[in-house]
Structure 1
Amino acid sequence: MQPVVETPPVAVPATPDGRRSRWTEHRRARREELVAAAVEAVRLAGPDFAVDDVARSAGVSKTVIYRYFADKDELVDAVLGRISDAILLPRLMGELLVERADDRASLRAVIAAFVSLIEDEPELYRFAYAQAGRSGRADLVAATEREIAEALGARMTERLAAAGRETQAAMTWAYGVVGMVQLASHWWSAARTVPAAELVDQLTELAHGGLGLLLPPR
């Protein structure tokens, strides 16, 4: 007697749930709206903003905020991401990627973009700096420094390689320039010892003066 061989059931592809997709998109869009409201709350209330400030900015209750964010830390992370993606990196990377006649002009443009950000968005800058070094959480300051330094280091590496020079020091120099500008600008943001344009000139002189001795001439 031949054994009966059972045919395994044929898997039927699941039908996409249109309602679930629409709900997911609605939730994503609503969350983005609340993040935008939180950015405005930071602009108005400063780095110590409360969830109540976000609720007022969005025109909703705190209960609604907590439907989309587990806690304030998650909201802070989302605000940091928005500042980075929509405000900070587009300005700085945009200037860094523009081809200019010489290194001094390129350096000055990036430094000026950073200083103008402090001038234009003082509360957002203070907020980002206040969140630096949070244990286990997003650090916008460190992430931005890293992205800008890596991009600047790549440009320096290209220049050195084209001139037949060793390239190992490029990243050291890049991080040194970015760190110098970041720390000096942060000190200036509170001290305001000179006008913004003069600060840009001073930092450009220091950065270009040092790199001018290290990078090959064009």
Structure 2
Amino acid sequence: MARTVKGAPGGTDARRERWKGHREARRAEFVEATIRAVAAHGPEVGMDEIAAEAGVSKPVLYRHFTDKSDLYLAVGRRATELLMDQLGPAIATDGPIRERIRRIVNAYLGVIEENPNLYRFVVRGSFTDRPVEQDVVSEDKELIAAALARLLGDHLRAFGMDSGGAEPWAHALVGMVQNAGDWWLDRQSMTKQALSEYLTTLIWHAIDGLLRGAGIEIDPDEPLTSGPRLRLITGEHTGEAR
């Protein structure tokens, strides 16, 4: 009697991989359905609404997720991807420092403006039915702060300054923008553009004050990558940033 060889086409391993790929695809479909249900029903959405949006029964959902907390974490990871898809390019793109700050703030506010219920769903974590080991919100903050710390560190080193404070400053900025965004989502007492400009001004002046404390003044609207002119505040001489 012929035996099926593991790893051969149509063998045990191949079937296992196909089943794994199918399950992952179905999980991804259900995550997207959950995001749509959250948008339609709010952050207090229930499994009934999610199952209806997905076009399946609740038992089918539970076949692909251990429990509600497992689904919450999967949605949180997807929300992180959506956030970083917008923030990543904004952080990585070169240009004048004030414009870079504005792009980053705009990108963050744009994501929470477009997905307010998803943002609240992830931040509140009320959907979970047990404590979760992974803190999605903290991980998001860590990702954004790490990227900002690299950006701030590069700028400080470009001016021959100590970059040791880049990491705590980055975390402080992330906390400030997130808290302002929370307030704005709840109050909606100004436009996104107005809030973005307020935050951009505040962040720029914090950086400007730091540079001035080291005797350096720069033009915030001149690209740093193009060899910006910088002036020592003492006025004794002018040089090029390296």
Could you say which structure has the higher helix fraction? 1
Return the offset for 1:116.
1.4
Letter aligned with residue 103 of structure 1: I
Aligned to 1:200: 196
Letter aligned with residue 171 of structure 1: E
Among 100, 106, 111, the residue aligned to 1:106: 100
Return the offset for 1:135.
4.4
Gapped regions of structure 1 (runs ≥ 5): 1-13
Aligned to 1:173: 169
Return the offset for 1:75.
0.6
Q: Is the CA contact (8 Å cut-off) linking 1:145 and 1:178 kept in structure 2?
A: yes
Between the aligned partners of 1:52 and 1:25, the Cα distance in structure 2 is 26
How well do the aligned residues superpose, as a CA RMSD in angstroms? 1.7
Return the offset for 1:56.
0.5
Between the aligned partners of 2:33 and 2:141, the Cα distance in structure 1 is 26
Could you say which structure has the higher strand fraction? 2
Return the offset for 1:131.
2.0
Query: SS of the residue aligned with 1:164?
Result: coil
Aligned to 1:143: 139
Aligned to 2:6: 15
Q: Is the CA contact (8 Å cut-off) linking 1:80 and 1:138 kept in structure 2?
A: no
Q: Identity percentage over the alignment?
A: 36
Letter aligned with residue 95 of structure 1: A
Q: Is the CA contact (8 Å cut-off) linking 1:77 and 1:137 kept in structure 2?
A: no
TM (norm. structure 2) is 0.79
TM (norm. structure 1) is 0.87
Q: Is the CA contact (8 Å cut-off) linking 1:131 and 1:139 kept in structure 2?
A: no
Between the aligned partners of 2:113 and 2:17, the Cα distance in structure 1 is 42
Aligned to 1:89: 84
Query: SS of the residue aligned with 1:141?
Result: helix
Instruction: Give the 4+ runs in structure 1 shifted more than 6 A.
Output: none
Between the aligned partners of 1:148 and 1:19, the Cα distance in structure 2 is 39
Question: How do residues 1-218 of structure 1 correspond to structure 2 at under 5 angstroms?
Answer: 15-16=6-7, 17=12, 18-85=14-81, 87-100=82-95, 102-131=96-125, 135-215=131-211, 217=218, 218=228
Return the offset for 1:49.
1.1
Query: SS of the residue aligned with 2:190?
Result: coil
Letter aligned with residue 99 of structure 1: D
Q: Is the CA contact (8 Å cut-off) linking 1:149 and 1:178 kept in structure 2?
A: yes
Between the aligned partners of 1:53 and 1:136, the Cα distance in structure 2 is 22
Residues paired across the two proteins, number: 202
Letter aligned with residue 158 of structure 1: D
Q: Is the CA contact (8 Å cut-off) linking 1:52 and 1:62 kept in structure 2?
A: yes
Between the aligned partners of 1:63 and 1:135, the Cα distance in structure 2 is 22
Gapped regions of structure 2 (runs ≥ 5): 219-227, 229-242
Return the offset for 1:20.
2.0
Aligned to 2:234: none
Query: SS of the residue aligned with 1:109?
Result: helix
